[in-house]
Amino acid sequence: MKRLLGFVCVLGLLLSCGCSGGAVRLPAADYTVEFTEEYFFRGAAVDVKLAYPAVSGLKDEKAADALRAAAKAYAYARFAEEGLTASDDVRYAYSVNDTKLMLAAPGFLSAMIGGVISADSGGVRYFSYTFNYDLTAGAALEAQDVFADYGAIRTLFEAGRFRQDFGYASLAREVSLTDLIAQYRPEYGVYPRVYFSEGRLGLLVETVPSLNGYAGFSIDIRQVRDMLRTDNPAIAMLCGLPDDQDS
């Protein structure tokens, strides 16, 4: 009887999360990834160190070149968003010091980039973003390109269905999950940045500097694939759906 009850409980959990079968497994990438670092100055008062992913070994060299150019432009755009301007009184340093390759799969790459902005007058703040690139389409994907029902995903996050992948170890004890996600306002076009790892969808959330500035949380992608834009072939592939699926 105990075994039967245990089986029923497990089956109920599987049905409740919409999962069936094993976790999504993707083929190995047909390329290798390394992070290119670049140092330069902007004006007289900002030191900048960027880092962005580049691939080697890809048969389609034009696609590899396009990714490198897109990743570099994306990194520079994220720096420009910070609005660091020259000043006679303050000198800034913007430095990428944390790069994580989250996924390398045939036709798709996902990376997390983080770092520190410091001023010689004192004070430090963190920045972070993700870079998701569809090598087949030659395009970077933003959160709006991924989410079909962000509200449902947010509900799962607040319910604790995501696991923490990186960041301050005891973050969930310091800040409620509701507060972590509340800073993102889709009605104003503000979403958490997303990343992908094998069989999982991740959310990158910002935190205060004393809690390491940012953290990543992910969920089994099968639990949320009905909430994603699986009409995009790249998203469908990441969800383990067949090429001819009609979602």
Cα–Cα distance for residue pair 192/218, rounded to 1 Å = 12
CA 163 to chain CA centroid, nearest Å = 14
From first to last of the 247 residues of the chain, give the pLDDT tens digit.
Answer: 434 334 333 334 333 444 555 788 999 999 999 999 999 876 667 899 999 999 999 999 999 999 999 999 999 999 999 988 766 678 889 999 999 999 999 999 999 999 999 988 788 999 999 999 999 999 999 999 999 999 999 999 999 999 999 999 999 999 999 999 999 999 999 999 999 999 999 999 999 999 999 999 999 999 999 999 999 999 999 999 886 554 4
pLDDT at 2: 38
Q: Give the residue among 122, 124, 203 at the shortest CA–CA distance from 167.
A: 203
Q: What are the residue boundaries of the structural domains of the chain, listed by start?
A: 25-140, 142-247
Cα–Cα distance for residue pair 136/29, rounded to 1 Å = 13
pLDDT at 46: 87
pLDDT at 14: 38
User: Which class does domain 25-140 fall in?
Assistant: alpha beta
Q: Which helix (H) or strand (E) is 194 found in, with range?
A: strand 193-197
Residue 58 has a CB neighbour count (10 Å cut-off) of 16
pTM for the model stands at 0.87
Cα–Cα distance for residue pair 12/6, rounded to 1 Å = 10
Residue 227 has a CB neighbour count (10 Å cut-off) of 20
Would you state the structure tokens that stand for residue 105, as one six-digit string?
A: 């799969």
pLDDT at 27: 92
Query: For residue 43, which amino acid is it?
Result: G
pLDDT at 32: 97
pLDDT at 86: 62
Q: Give the residue among 140, 112, 138, 141 at the shortest CA–CA distance from 127.
A: 112
